[in-house]
Homo-oligomer: A and B are copies of this chain.
Amino acid sequence: MVRIPLPQLRNPSRLFPAEESLRGLAADLYARVVDTPIISPHGHVPAESLVANLAFEDPAKLLISSDHYVVRLLHAAGIDLSRLGLGDVKIKPREIWRTVAENWHRFAGTASGYWLDEELAGILGVGIALSAETSDSVFDAIQSRLDEPDFRPRSLFRKFRIEFLATTDDPLDDLEHHRALARMDLGGRVAPTFRPDRYLDPNAADFSERIQMLLATRGAATTFAEYLQALESRREHFVRNGAVSADHGVEEMFTVDLDSSEAETLFQSVVSGSADAADRRLFRGHMLLQMARMSVDDGLVMTIHPGIARSHSSATARRFGPDTGHDIPVATSFTHGVRPLLERFGLQKDFHLILFTVDETTYSREIAPLAGFYPSVFIGAPWWFLDAPDAIGRFRSAVTETAGFYRGSGFIDDTRAFLSIPTRHDTARRADCAYIARLVVEGRIALPTAERITDDLVSAIPKTAFKL
């Protein structure tokens, strides 16, 4: 059996540039923050898993089936998702793992491949590279690690040095798990995030049902004003339970300001189902602006993630549900679409609006210029498809010359894969240190400034952006 050591085990300077002076300086900067606690202000770890604190079942469920970054690339290799533990077919975890191992070369150079290598080597203590030949022994090594008593979510939470972790939650969630976590000594704080997309977008599959449930929280509510009050009340519930932000996923960055009678008419038409596509778009655009207004009022940081066409493959969505790897980015623009919102609230004291994108052309063209003027606008860290070493480097290069380092959100991991949290943050830290080191070596910033920025990027900057 060929046992190739993991490249990372050989190379403490991984992700740093090859050139010696850059590499040395990047390493020095990185040493400052390698152990800095993690701020994770946007992600998808279920609070319940931390409350229950059960052992992870098996390597496949932990690392493969639940990670749509991983399953999508296997699907692209012609492997039906049902063979990866999705859907109803029962597949043995060891078989799933073998499928991954046989196709492991397909992950070479990808962010997912790098993260998984890091998790295997760094967190799970596996010292050999995954391949068809090592599949079973790697599986067994992981399984025995998962069975260890200290390898439970809460132990890892502490071991990962998580200072702050935000989950993503339905507005009607009671947040009981968060209250339970608040009573525990986790070594860090877990906060819910208000994510109301399904209650704001008439195109959402369960919009009617959701909106009726929301209105029901206010008794016999039927008006737009009562709908807004219901949302405000749920946000208040989130604030009381520790939320710091409200998150909004939309395909198009579009906002519109309407007067209250227009909005009322529009609301009635979307509730009754009579609204056409243009009216449904208007409603979505107006509700995004209303969410900004509520953020101004209640202080929740507003994050917007536009530009994803969700569930691109209907057949896959029907068989396996959403979030199974076929969400595809679209060309995005912000300048005109966010303007009505910023005209109303862009200069409001303490309003924070973080703009994320999966269209990297918007970094230098729109997001950095917006964040370089509006005190309310922050540059969202590279997210989804762009949370990878080269992409992070391109991001820094694209935004820094216009907006510097202090208009950013800090890194977010946006992950469902609990074990990837420290890995993803480490990747971002290394990539950022590589960029900062270059600025020093090129004589663009002084070393003490570089050191301050390195420290601030993982602490002061995300804490400012997310009001922690």
Contacts and interface: CB of A to CB of B under 8 A. Distances in A.
Interface in A185-208: none
Nearest to A21: B18
A149 interface: no
A316 B346 CA distance: 11
A18 B390 contact: no
A35 interface: no
Interface stretch (A226-234, A258-266, A409-417, A435-443): A435-443
Interface string A77-93: 11000000000000000
Interface in A348-396: 349, 358-361, 364-366, 368-375, 377, 385-386, 388-391, 394
Interface stretch (A150-158, A238-246, A323-331): A323-331
B375 A449 contact: no
A329 B444 CA distance: 25
Given A109-B401, A442-B15, A442-B16, A374 B406 contact: no
Interface stretch (A5-13, A133-141, A159-167): A5-13
A373 B114 CA distance: 19
A423 interface: no
B371 A385 contact: no
A133 to B, nearest CB: 12
A329 B371 CA distance: 12
A63 to B, nearest CB: 17
A106 B312 contact: no
Contacts of A7: 440, 443-447
Given A7-B444, A335-B312, A347-B315, A72 B386 contact: no
A108 B405 CA distance: 7
Interface of A: 2, 4-8, 10-11, 13-19, 21-22, 72-73, 75-78, 105-111, 113-114, 129, 309, 312-316, 325-331, 333, 335-336, 339, 342-343, 346-347, 349, 358-361, 364-366, 368-375, 377, 385-386, 388-391, 394, 397, 400-407, 438-450, 452-453
Given A328-B373, A331-B361, A364-B386, 16 more contacts: A4-B446, A5-B446, A17-B19, A72-B373, A76-B377, A76-B403, A78-B375, A106-B405, A108-B404, A108-B445, A109-B400, A109-B404, A110-B402, A315-B347, A330-B366, A388-B401
